[in-house]
Each structure stands twice: as structure tokens, then as C-alpha cells.
């Protein structure tokens, strides 16, 4: 599939627009047009319905260890800045970077290290990105090259001390960049913040500095105790949240795939530590199935378990649900959702402070004085089980999905081209979106075959009746074939046409988007028939 055609269709029919377009656009931001808004709403509502309001609290679904509860939450985008310090985002997302004017490469200031060396009165800080013996060898090698010496002259170089961080160096004119041939090519360190910074309060002083959330998850963790204390849930249970998140991506690209403002659909599922591997597998499979059920059924969708090396320091299992987007190189997949086993990392972080791995356990990271690097809330977020009389910190399974990415994947998967016969029976190119009926922005279109003989009046009555239950669209302009084509292009599953026989026998035709099949339905049965078709029940073909 040609991505350009989809992008063009999205703009032409009002699914997606570039943000601030009349001012030249803004990189990494996208607006949803009238139809895109409906589509994305449907994606989010399907998720909410399937995960939360439609979930049966009383019985264990297939693959689940036991029955569980699901509740919702809507937390704020701006939260206490300490949350991001304890969660680890502040340290991970907040770096100083240096650029090399010569090699055009960029490095993290804290990851470049090097050694001071002197030769014939010249003193240079030779850098490397490697540590340990490798770094020592590399700096030795590069110093020889810089001064035009051979290996046997190595002892003529006067080294000063061990490998140290670039952060200890003030004058960059004497620094030889990791990929440079001459010293002095590195820029001053520049602050690089992947979180959007803002200021709370009318005075924009640093004491009011805060961040737009880079994920919705933390809002759930910090409300864990509130939810437990207020909503009669007991472990195991999940808290779901849908909402905007913000990341200052360095290279937003690939349509809406990597946007700076995006929407997430996240669940934090709290369970007993001994049961957590079973719950992890349940959620991994459940979430994969959700995409399949809504139409991403082909080989372009896959479930991929992370390798051990790929796991975050706190995770004991992570899987990605990925889709082979058409804009990616063949064989590459883009992440739609990550399902992570996060252990007790998050709740403990917000109790004790930012955690780091030490051997097999997580401990509070400390500063030079032995105090916590980022202090936690100090609140007890453990859970007391009334039945077993056990107190513990629940483990967390986190299925974290991107609403915009899912929407984009559904669009890509739905895009179809085929040939249908025109009025003379000659094949004509057709573009249509084979969207799942639950996702389709418009559920049905109602047409009078021609704009006379009382057909519009009948069609309008059907339209008004259906409108009470479904998002339907009325159109009486031009040839009916054109109207069909327009609806196909935006994925409307059914077109209902009032024709000659309608006026005498009270039936109308239903036309199926994918097969072009038509069958007759009584006017008074339209609502029920449409509901049936949208539920995916067998089409009642009678003509």
C-alpha cells in the first residue's frame, strides 16, 4: 500500500490535518478532522467498553487466573514535579547533549569520557564513548593518531589520570570529540529535555516549574491508594485511563506515528506478586486479541516478547504488539502497545523515592551524602488483604497502548483498492476503507435513488429514525454511484437506498461496502437490520 495515498485521503476527506497548517504547520502535531475524530473516538470507546465498562467483574475471562475488577480514572496532565523525579522520567528524559561540528554527531554529555594527555607542550582531553579497558585503549590509539606518532612512541605521551567524565572539563577547545580528527569541535553542552516544561502559577519562576506528563501511568500510581480506599475494589483489579501525553521527540516523523502530543490508553493492573506472571501472560494475550478482533488480523500484526537484555531494569517481562506500518522498511514493525510486568517498582518508587537496580533488588538511589536522590512521598502504598490477612505491595502489569498509533494502524489496514464495474460494466478503480463496523466513523448512509417521486421524503424519515441510534449520513446529490463511492472511501459499512419499489412495497436496499451485495429490508426493520449488520451477524441476503 502506498502511504502517500492514505495520507492524501486522510486530508482530503477530513481524517487528519497537520496542526496549525495555515501558519505553515508545526512539526510533530496533528489535528483530527470531522471523520478522524469519529474514528479515534470509536477506537477509544471500543477500548474503554472492552476493557472497563463491558468487563464482567464476576467471572474469570478465558486465560485469567480469576475474576477481577476494572475501574477508570482521569488524572491531570500537569502533576507534582516530584512524580517525574521518582518515576525516573526526569533523569532519563533530561540530558545535556553536546554536538560535534566536524562529525555532526550528538552525544550525551554524561556519557562521553576521556583522558588528559600532553605531548610537546600541548594538552588535550581525548574522548571516547567506551568505558574500562576498551576506553583506555581507544584513547591511547586516538592520541597517537592525533600527534602523528607510531605505536612504539606511546611512552612519549604523558597521560594524566584515569578515564573521567567530560562533565569534569570546562574548556572544550582542548577536547578531541569521540569522532573528530581535531580538538575543539564540540559545542557547549545544551539542555535537552524530552518532557515539556511549563510553569504553575502566574510567576514563571523555577519554583513553579512543572512538566506536561510524558505518560498517563503515573497518574494511576499516585492515585492507587485513593482508588483502593474509595471504590471497594480488591486485588486483583485494574485502573484504566485514556488521555493526552507529551514528549518532545527529537525527530517526529512518519505521519502521526511519532507525535509530540499524543493520546494513550493505559491500564495498570494490580495483583499479588506470586500471581503476577500469570496475569502478565493473560494481559499480553488479551490485548493482542483485541487488535485482531477489530480487524488487524493479518501478518502485519505481531506479538513480540522482549529479549532479556531489552528489558527495563525493573521489568521481569515485556511484550510489544507491533504493526508493520507501510512507511516502515520491509520487515520492520512499529510499536502499538507495550505490555510490561513492572513488579512493585512504581508503587515503591512513590513510597520510598527513585529506585535503581542493585544486583537482584531495587534500592533507593542515593546522592553523594547518602541521602535519596529523589525523595518519595513517604506514604504507605501497600495493600492489606482482609481475607488472607496479608500486607504487601502489589505487582503491576501495564498494558500501555497508543490511541493515535492504533487509529493509524486501523486506517492502514483498512485501506483497500479494487475494481468494480461502472455503469457500462467496465472495471473502474475503487478506493475504500474496510474498517470494522465498530470503528467506522459513519455507520450507514441513506440515499434516495433519485431526487424525485417522493423518494427523498422516505429516505429522510429513515435517516431521522436511524440517527437516534447511529451516526448516519444523508445524501441526495448527483448520481447514486458517486454517492456509494464517496461512502466507500470513508469506510461506511452500509448504504441504504430508497428506490422505485420502496414506494409501493415499503422496502429499501441495503448495500454492503466490501462485497457490493444488495438485499431488501422493510423500512420498519432498518434499525434492527443495521444493528445486526454492525454487530457482524450473518447478513440476511434475500435478493
Partner RNA sequence: GCGGGUGUAGCUCAAUGGUAGAGCAAUAGCCUUCCAAGCUGAAGACGAGGGUUCGAUUCCCUUCACCCGCUCCA
The DSSP call for residue 536 is T
104 binds RNA (CB under 7 A): yes
The DSSP call for residue 109 is G
- Quick one: 224 or 473, whose CB is closer to RNA? 473
Choosing from 303, 485, 531, 539, the residue that interacts with RNA (CB under 7 A) is: 485
349 binds RNA (CB under 7 A): no
Contact 426, 442 (CB under 8 A): no
Neighbours of 208 (CB within 10 A): 13
Choosing from 44, 213, 247, 438, the residue that interacts with RNA (CB under 7 A) is: 247
Question: Strand pairing partners for 375?
Answer: 353
Burial of 202 (C-beta count, 10 Å sphere; 0-12/13-18/19+)? exposed
In angstroms, give the least distance from the CB of 216 to RNA.
11
- For residue 533, give every residue at least 6 positions away whose Cβ sits within 8 Å of its Cβ, in sequence order, or none: 437, 493, 494, 510, 512, 539
Choosing from 196, 324, 511, 526, the residue that interacts with RNA (CB under 7 A) is: 511
Q: Pick the stretch among 6-14, 145-153, 157-165, 368-376 that binds RNA (CB under 7 A).
A: 6-14
Sign, CA dihedral 84-85-91-95, equals: positive
- Quick one: 187 or 226, whose CB is closer to RNA? 187
In angstroms, give the least distance from the CB of 533 to RNA.
15
User: Burial letters for 476-515: b for 16+ Cβ neighbours within 10 Å, e otherwise?
Assistant: beeebeebbebbbbbbbbbbbbbbeebeeeebbbbbebee
Choosing from 60, 78, 92, 292, the residue that interacts with RNA (CB under 7 A) is: 92
Task: Report the SS3 class of residue 528.
Answer: helix
251 binds RNA (CB under 7 A): yes
- Quick one: 308 or 389, whose CB is closer to RNA? 308
197 binds RNA (CB under 7 A): no
- For residue 27, give every residue at least 6 positions away whose Cβ sits within 8 Å of its Cβ, in sequence order, or none: 252, 260
Question: Strand pairing partners for 152?
Answer: none
Distance between CA atoms of residues 155 and 447, nearest Å: 89
Q: Pick the stretch among 299-307, 361-369, 471-479, 529-537 that binds RNA (CB under 7 A).
A: 471-479
In angstroms, give the least distance from the CB of 298 to RNA.
22
254 binds RNA (CB under 7 A): yes
25 binds RNA (CB under 7 A): yes
Whose cell is 467506522? That residue is 440
327 binds RNA (CB under 7 A): yes
In angstroms, give the least distance from the CB of 249 to RNA.
6
- Quick one: 196 or 383, whose CB is closer to RNA? 196
H-helix or E-strand containing 444?
strand 444-448
Cell numbers for 172, please give them. Answer: 572544550
Distance between CA atoms of residues 215 and 228, nearest Å: 22
Distance between CA atoms of residues 244 and 77, nearest Å: 7
Choosing from 10, 163, 189, 215, the residue that interacts with RNA (CB under 7 A) is: 215
Choosing from 93, 96, 474, 519, the residue that interacts with RNA (CB under 7 A) is: 93
Where on the chain is the footprint of RNA (CB under 7 A)?
4, 8, 11-12, 18, 24-28, 88-89, 92-93, 99, 104-106, 194, 214-215, 247, 249-255, 258, 312, 327, 329, 420-423, 428, 430-431, 449-453, 477-482, 484-486, 489, 497, 499-500, 509, 511, 516, 518
Amino acid at each position: 500500500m502506498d502511504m502517500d495515498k492514505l495520507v492524501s485521503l486522510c486530508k482530503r476527506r477530513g481524517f487528519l490535518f497537520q496542526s496549525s497548517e495555515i501558519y505553515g504547520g508545526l512539526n510533530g502535531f496533528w489535528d483530527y478532522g470531522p471523520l478522524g475524530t469519529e474514528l479515534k473516538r470509536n477506537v477509544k470507546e471500543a477500548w474503554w467498553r472492552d476493557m472497563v465498562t463491558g468487563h464482567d467483574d464476576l467471572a474469570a475471562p478465558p486465560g485469567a487466573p480469576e475474576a477481577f475488577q476494572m475501574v477508570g480514572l482521569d488524572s491531570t496532565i500537569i502533576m507534582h514535579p516530584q512524580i517525574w523525579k521518582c518515576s525516573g522520567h526526569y533523569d532519563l528524559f533530561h540530558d545535556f547533549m553536546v554536538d560535534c561540528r566536524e562529525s555532526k554527531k550528538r552525544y550525551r554529555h554524561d556519557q562521553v569520557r576521556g583522558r588528559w594527555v600532553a605531548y610537546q607542550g600541548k594538552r588535550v582531553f581525548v574522548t571516547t564513548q567506551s568505558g574500562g579497558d576498551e576506553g583506555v585503549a581507544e584513547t591511547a590509539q586516538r592520541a597517537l593518531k592525533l600527534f602523528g606518532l607510531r605505536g612504539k612512541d606511546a611512552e612519549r605521551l604523558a597521560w594524566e589520570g584515569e578515564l573521567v567524565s567530560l562533565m569534569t572539563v570546562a574548556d572544550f577547545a582542548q577536547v578531541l570529540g569521540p569522532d573528530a580528527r581535531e580538538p575543539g569541535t564540540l559545542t557547549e553542552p545544551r539542555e535537552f529535555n524530552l518532557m515539556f516544561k511549563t510553569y504553575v502559577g502566574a510567576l514563571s519562576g523555577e519554583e513553579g516549574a512543572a512538566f506536561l506528563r510524558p505518560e498517563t501511568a503515573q497518574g494511576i500510581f499516585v492515585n492507587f491508594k485513593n482508588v483502593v480506599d474509595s471504590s471497594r475494589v480488591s486485588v486483583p483489579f485494574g485502573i484504566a485511563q485514556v488521555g493526552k501525553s507529551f514528549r518532545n521527540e527529537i525527530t517526529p516523523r512518519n505521519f502521526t506515528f511519532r507525535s509530540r502530543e499524543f493520546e494513550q490508553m493505559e491500564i495498570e493492573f494490580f495483583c499479588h506478586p506470586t500471581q503476577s506472571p500469570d496475569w502478565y501472560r493473560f494481559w499480553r494475550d488479551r490485548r493482542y486479541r483485541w487488535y485482531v478482533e477489530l480487524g488487524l488480523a493479518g501478518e502485519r500484526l505481531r506479538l513480540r516478547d522482549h529479549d532479556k537484555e531489552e528489558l527495563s531494569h525493573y521489568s521481569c517481562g515485556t511484550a510489544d504488539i507491533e504493526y508493520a506500518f507501510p512507511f516502515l522498511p520491509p520487515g520492520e514493525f512499529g510499536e502499538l502497545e507495550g505490555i510490561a510486568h513492572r513488579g512493585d517498582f512504581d508503587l515503591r518508587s512513590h513510597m520510598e523515592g527513585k529506585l535503581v537496580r542493585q544486583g537482584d533488588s531495587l534500592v533507593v538511589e542515593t546522592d553523594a551524602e547518602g541521602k535519596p536522590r529523589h525523595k518519595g512521598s513517604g506514604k504507605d502504598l501497600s495493600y492489606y488483604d482482609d481475607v488472607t490477612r496479608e500486607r504487601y505491595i502489589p505487582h503491576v502489569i501495564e498494558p500501555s497502548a497508543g490511541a493515535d498509533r492504533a487509529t493509524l494502524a486501523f486506517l492502514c489496514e483498512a485501506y483497500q483498492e479494487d475494481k468494480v464495474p461502472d455503469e457500462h460494466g467496465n472495471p473502474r478503480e475503487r478506493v475504500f476503507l474496510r474498517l470494522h463496523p465498530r470503528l467506522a466513523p459513519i455507520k450507514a448512509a441513506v440515499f434516495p435513488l433519485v431526487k424525485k417521486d417522493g423518494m427523498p421524503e422516505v429516505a429522510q424519515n429513515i435517516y431521522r429514525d436511524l440517527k437516534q441510534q447511529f451516526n448516519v449520513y444523508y445524501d441526495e446529490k448527483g448520481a447514486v454511484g458517486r454517492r456509494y463511492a464517496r461512502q466507500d472511501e470513508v469506510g461506511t459499512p452500509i448504504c441504504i437506498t430508497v428506490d422505485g419499489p420502496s414506494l409501493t412495497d415499503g422496502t429499501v436496499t441495503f448495500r454492503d461496502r466490501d462485497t457490493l451485495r444488495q438485499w431488501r429490508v422493510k423500512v420498519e426493520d432498518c434499525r434492527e437490520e443495521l444493528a445486526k449488520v454492525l454487530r457482524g451477524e450473518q447478513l440476511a441476503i434475500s435478493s
